[in-house]
Structure 1
Amino acid sequence: MSAALGAATVVVATPASAADDQVVTTVSEADRAAALAHWTPERMRQWVGEEDLPPAEKIGREWEGSVPSGVGRLFFTAQPGVDGSCTATVVPSSSKDVALTAGHCVNGGLDRFDNPIKIVNVVFVPGYDHGEAPHGVFAARAFAWSSTYSGPMSGADDDAVLALDPVDGRHVADVAGTQDISFDKLPSTVDTTMLGYPVSKAAGGEALFSCEQPATFKENSVNKTWNTDCDLAGGSSGGPWLRNFDPATGKGTIFSVTSRGTMTEDGVTTDLSGAALTEPVRKLYERAGEL
């Protein structure tokens, strides 16, 4: 079974506005305050020890040492009250407030009555590690995806940007650092470091995990994707796929993010795919500093 890899739930936001090339949701100041109040350290750790979590990863390994620049855990709630988490990464922007994640982390389709599920309580915790938030907890003031992204049934352009409020006057890029992002054409196989916070029995989302695997480019009439046999579980969605990663500096260049995975009946992830970064996503990213 192939599925988008959010944790605990797959959700959709109710867009506040839709331009020709992107869909933007803005978050009120009151709702941002409510998000920060909702995500206590105890709530962030709510999945630890749950019996029905997917089995521990065999290929993915817990990251040793400090979390690389800009990488962190993204939390949200799908009304009427189902919490979930993904992974996101701070990227360079004019505002110094932008993070990149998967589109399905903030747009997950419709409920069984064909109504959009409103998403609330969106916060990003760069450097998250076993309940610790070393750089602070950043509330999202807006998030957006390209109008070419049609939801979790599609893997095309499964990317989203988040605009985050500063914490104590400090921008997220200044306190957590960034990872570069590139839209360059690449070889069909790229040595890749994939990072994410899988909500599996290995750590319940509490630790960053990584895979170091070659990613292979595949293209058909519908999608252009990067593919690996990495086995990170749900919660790793939105995590960066980095080329030229330098462990000494903790930096590389994003060329995709985790989008979908194939899972067995036992919940074991057997492979991951990430959408190729297209021209619509480039435009989304270039305007993200204005959110």
Structure 2
Amino acid sequence: MDLKRAARRVVALSAALGAATAVVAAPASAADDQVVTVVSEADRAAALAHWTPERMRQWVGEEDLPPAEKIGREWAGPVPSGVGRLFFTARPGVDGSCTATVVPSSSKDVALTAGHCVNGGFDRFDNPIKIVNVVFVPGYDHGEAPHGVFAARAFAWSSTYSGPTSGADDDAVLALDPVDGRHVADVAGTQEISFGKLPSTVDTTMLGYPVSQAAGGEALFSCARPATYQENSVNTTWNTDCDLAGGSSGGPWLRNFDPATGKGTIFSVTSRGTMTEDGVTTDLSGAALTEPVRKLYERAGEL
């Protein structure tokens, strides 16, 4: 019997203290179709103070990180438009990271990530774990923040997302404060996003910041693989054999991507991965973008 195969498990691919795990947020308010957390001005200032360059690099050299990717490769050249690393803290003090991408919006302040990066359920005592210190660093590269560090003033997910045990509608939007009066879309660029029906197989470029022995979260990695559509009674997902480790959650799945321009169109984001007992990711899945997520996105500019 293949013990590694038997031990494989599906997990949400955020990274916390080097481990692939899901973290959660306590919502500030809930409407019928979305759940919104509003971040106070004081807490935004605290987030910027918390995430020093040294803290952003805290996982580098950790011996217990997942093994290096074999399919995923470090991105060569400038980080594509709008893509960056998302940092947060799950109280009582566990730092984590994901990936996010700036998308077009009326406010020019919106980024898209995975829902479980800012929401996800409860602890073992059924208490919600609050997410704080949420900042986004577009273009992040080995500790450098070429476009600045943007604090989240709000984040939201669809009310149809039920947390990290589910991959359905595992998407969230972030509203980011401008830095020195400049909006994130103006300084970092954007990637387009689409909600239309696609063929069952799509040539896909996946991007993310895996906290693995190869990357330590410090470098953008990519996979260029076909993504296949799968639908069942529970949810609809896109699936590939990309092996990016935890920290890649929320990273964009891009079709019609042009490496020369760094532009494509998002049709999903990394949600979950199957992992062996050794922490090796064997495949990734991303939720298909549904009508509730489209409504979430269309209202994101109002946050």
Q: Above 0.5 in TM-score?
A: yes
Per the TM alignment, residue 7 of structure 1 is displaced from its structure 2 partner at its CA by: 5.5
Alignment match, 1:212: 224
Q: In 2, are the aligned partners of 1:36 and 1:139 still within 8 Å (CA)? A: yes
Matches within 5 A, 1:108-257: 108-257=120-269
Query: Cα–Cα, structure 1 residues 6 and 186, in superposed 2: closer, same or farther, change >3 Å?
Result: farther
Per the TM alignment, residue 8 of structure 1 is displaced from its structure 2 partner at its CA by: 5.7
Superposed CA deviations along residues 137-186 of structure 1, whole A, max 9, x for unmatched, are 00000000000000000000000000000000000000000000000100
Per the TM alignment, residue 11 of structure 1 is displaced from its structure 2 partner at its CA by: 1.3
Q: In 2, are the aligned partners of 1:6 and 1:85 still within 8 Å (CA)? A: no
Superposed CA deviations along residues 254-274 of structure 1, whole A, max 9, x for unmatched, are 000000000000000000000
Whole-angstrom distance in 1 between the partners of 2:59 and 2:211: 7
Query: Cα–Cα, structure 1 residues 80 and 128, in superposed 2: closer, same or farther, change >3 Å?
Result: same
Q: In 2, are the aligned partners of 1:4 and 1:152 still within 8 Å (CA)? A: no
Superposed CA deviations along residues 212-266 of structure 1, whole A, max 9, x for unmatched, are 0000000000010000000000000000000000011100000000000000000
Query: Cα–Cα, structure 1 residues 243 and 160, in superposed 2: closer, same or farther, change >3 Å?
Result: same
Q: In 1, are the aligned partners of 2:83 and 2:138 still within 8 Å (CA)? A: yes
SS of equivalent residue, structure 1 residue 8: strand
Per the TM alignment, residue 108 of structure 1 is displaced from its structure 2 partner at its CA by: 1.9
Superposed CA deviations along residues 64-112 of structure 1, whole A, max 9, x for unmatched, are 0000000000000000000000000000000000000000000121000
Aligned residues: 291
Cα RMSD over matched residues? Answer: 1.8
Per the TM alignment, residue 2 of structure 1 is displaced from its structure 2 partner at its CA by: 13
Q: In 1, are the aligned partners of 2:268 and 2:287 still within 8 Å (CA)? A: yes
Query: Cα–Cα, structure 1 residues 76 and 4, in superposed 2: closer, same or farther, change >3 Å?
Result: closer
Q: In 1, are the aligned partners of 2:16 and 2:95 still within 8 Å (CA)? A: no
Q: In 2, are the aligned partners of 1:53 and 1:200 still within 8 Å (CA)? A: yes
Q: In 2, are the aligned partners of 1:11 and 1:108 still within 8 Å (CA)? A: yes
Q: In 1, are the aligned partners of 2:15 and 2:247 still within 8 Å (CA)? A: no
Q: In 2, are the aligned partners of 1:9 and 1:83 still within 8 Å (CA)? A: no
Alignment match, 1:62: 74
Q: In 2, are the aligned partners of 1:2 and 1:263 still within 8 Å (CA)? A: no
2:103 aligned residue (91, 112, 115): 91
Q: Report percent identity of matched pairs.
A: 94
Whole-angstrom distance in 1 between the partners of 2:263 and 2:226: 18
Normalising by structure 1, we get a TM-score of: 0.98
Whole-angstrom distance in 1 between the partners of 2:119 and 2:113: 11
Whole-angstrom distance in 2 between the partners of 1:218 and 1:183: 16
Whole-angstrom distance in 1 between the partners of 2:16 and 2:178: 30
Q: In 2, are the aligned partners of 1:5 and 1:234 still within 8 Å (CA)? A: no
1:28 aligned residue (40, 50, 54): 40
Per the TM alignment, residue 13 of structure 1 is displaced from its structure 2 partner at its CA by: 1.1
Consecutive aligned runs of 4 or more in structure 1 exceeding 4 Å deviation: 1-9
Superposed CA deviations along residues 192-224 of structure 1, whole A, max 9, x for unmatched, are 000000000002000000000000000000010
Query: Cα–Cα, structure 1 residues 6 and 161, in superposed 2: closer, same or farther, change >3 Å?
Result: farther
Whole-angstrom distance in 2 between the partners of 1:57 and 1:229: 12
Q: In 2, are the aligned partners of 1:5 and 1:259 still within 8 Å (CA)? A: no
Q: In 1, are the aligned partners of 2:19 and 2:65 still within 8 Å (CA)? A: no
Per the TM alignment, residue 10 of structure 1 is displaced from its structure 2 partner at its CA by: 2.0
Q: Does 1:268 align with 2:294?
A: no
Q: Which runs of 5+ in 1 are unaligned?
A: none
